[in-house]
Structure 1
Amino acid sequence: MLPEVKLDALMVRHAEIESRLNGQLSAEDFVKLSRELSELSPVVEAIRNYRSAAAELQDVEALFADPGTDSEMREIADAERRELREKLEVLQHQIRLQLLPKDAMDERSVVIEIRAGTGGDEASLFAGVLFRMYERYAAKQGWKVEVVSASEGAVGGYKEIIAEITGRGVFAKLKYESGVHRVQRVPETEASGRVHTSAATVAVLPQAEDVDINIRDEDLKIDTMRAQGAGGQHVNKTESAIRITHIPSGIVVAVQDDRSQHKNKAKAMALLRAKLYDSEREKLDSARAADRKVQVGSGDRSERIRTYNFPQGRVTDHRINLTLYKLPEVIEGEALGELIDALVAENQAALLAAQNDAA
């Protein structure tokens, strides 16, 4: 059974927000309440549909149980009550999913870091494939991708690339991508046609806001330098590159992507804030070891999460033992959503099971 008291409270809160939004509010309160309303509206709609179907079922059950109901009408009522019971089960499941505890960071934008691992030049090329996959997937979601810093590989791809992906609910989708991604394919430079295995690591960090992390100026060492590598003469003539060291944690970030030192510093500070916040989240996760058992994977970035096998055209996610023979569609960003949706569903099922065990 659904917790009716909790459903009533959600309905009351939804009505309260609607009323407040019709009154005088500051811009900050309006944005905050509008966001809460958009999160509550789907569950409130499901609650209304559930209660309407429950009332309808009650009427049909009464008609079916009435001795005065003729056989033809009883047959119709029996068919209707079966349909309504199925509908109620679906609505109950929807509401239970929407009532699951949510990660406070799910709505945030992210910083994504992709680094070539074992495999030399082939690993750098694969890191480039992964970045383009996320870039295309982000475009399909209506998200914006901006490169923060990049170090290109000798024959293409990236030794390392860091980018911001901004939009609504980015972390909710991409948080499952953190870990080691392995590729099996024949390199273009391999004359004998042997399949090589190489890897790249992906880290997805929720973007932190000023209120999340307090960074003191005295804890920072900021260095400026000339940008290295490609970028034209202008880039190398000016000290536009920025390196920031957070002294207490030892975390170092460097950005040289933009010609403007001011813009590079802003990007570096955003990246530092995300790294510090992620570090704090990891500490909390370690302290909540029991909670982590119900999540898909451990979140450990050394964990091998997925294999992309080019000769067989398949992608396997090892956490949920799901294999799709759609490798081209996945790396084009078209079918990546199928993997992500399966991971979300698995995580929801694990949370529901844990909730039922605790009940």
Structure 2
Amino acid sequence: MKLRTLLLVGSALLMAAHADDRTMSFNTEIQVVPAPGAVVIDGQTADWDLSAGVWSYNDPTLVERYSVWTHLMWDGKGVYFLARYHDPTPMRNDTAGKDFAVSWRADCYQARVIFDDATPDEHILHVNMYYSSSDGRPYMIVKHGGFRAQPPYDATGPDRPDQLERWGATMAEHGGAVATAPWPDGKGYNLEAFWPWTYCRTGGQPLAAGQSFVFGIEAMWGNADGTMLAHRLADGITDDTVNRIFMFRARTGWGKAVIAAKGGLAVVENQVALHKARLKRFADYDTYGSLPIVHDTGGLHDTVTHLDCNANQGNGFVFKFFDPLGLYWAIQQAMNFYQLPKDERNKQICRIMREATATRSRPAATPPASCTTAPSN
């Protein structure tokens, strides 16, 4: 079956992506399938229906190192969560204890969740799940509401100490649980959790098939000793306008989890086919005249300026703040450029190569024949 047909068949199940030039994942919806039976929270997958997971990654060539599958199931007791992490240094997070504020800085999954969105019973949960390599145990910590106690608030609204007092910072007293299990090959791990309805929803009642809740994904990978962030992604979003860097504040851009009436869906098959198509597109990309991603320092400050396609100016992607988020921002800018129509990309690349040939003391590569000799307007 061709990819186009697969996407058409799967569109009712998962708004996973569009037929476009994206290479990074773009999942807007995840199906929450019925649990096939009793589920034990032990980090194992034998009791799971894995047919409806979504696959998140920044780069289709690095999925064996930095990608995560997210699966959700449900029953009358609550929602079951499973993340299958590809990770070269699995389960490394040096955070000790239940410290929400720093637990995201290494291996950690952050779920952005809203139950009963835009109703009087609305409940916003930021759920951090990770294995503490210093404590030798997993944690699941919850932040309720927004991140500011006083106005002006961001889109998540005010902090909710009242909800913290009512439900607590963990789900344990309501029957919630979390577990991890490393993969036998040492190249990843499973992170499994249970979220009780009595904790997630103000009324404590289960959602029914066809209903939904808000669900966004932020996944983190730490360095080898779990002391700092090495890789990060954001997925489970509504559209391309969502700020993936500050995903935790982008409430209106978080995606959706739909309670499915049945399991055994073909979503995973569609996700695998989509990755193959993205990988081929990535491999076929013409790297001639590739533009640099640089930090604004030293000689690079004098030779590379940030690309502005509207003004026909710039020759690369420049970040000023020397930290992971600064680099990530520049990578996002480069990916946005790559996702432009090919003719528009080539127009800028040809301009840059002509300018480089004319201004450098050492000639740059000769622009390809496809570039016109006259500057493009």
TM-score by length of 1: 0.25
- Report 1 or 2 for greater relative contact order, CA contacts < 8 Å, sequence distance ≥ 6: 2
Higher strand share: 2
The structure with the largest helix share of the pair is: 1
